[in-house]
Amino acid sequence: AIFWDEQLTGPIGLVAEYSFLKELDVVKMFQLKPGCLPSISVKNILFITRPEVELMDCIADNLHRYE
């Protein structure tokens, strides 16, 4: 599963289309938000964000609530 920084969804779509990501076994894609991660059954989770403290805090919040 990929969790995207909302600001990167468009620009990354110019480089890697959804169909290409599906070929790489990306099962689900979500917008990065604070709080609990959605209930999903995946082997790996990838966070793609800009290097901003606010976004790192959001990822930390997601992971702490997941444990």
| Total domains in the fold of the chain | 1
pTM of the model: 0.80
Question: Do the domain assignments include residue 29?
Answer: yes
Question: Do the domain assignments include residue 22?
Answer: yes
> Has residue 10 got a pLDDT over 90?
no
The pLDDT score that the predictor gives to residue 19 is 82
**How far apart are the C-alpha atoms of 34 and 36, rounded to whole Å?**
7
As a whole number, mean pLDDT of residues 17-34 equals 87
Specify the range with the lowest mean pLDDT, choosing from 8-22, 29-43, 44-58.
8-22
Question: Do the domain assignments include residue 23?
Answer: yes
Domain holding 22, by residue range, is 1-41
> Has residue 30 got a pLDDT over 70?
yes
Q: What counts of helices (H) and strands (E) characterise the chain?
A: 3, 3
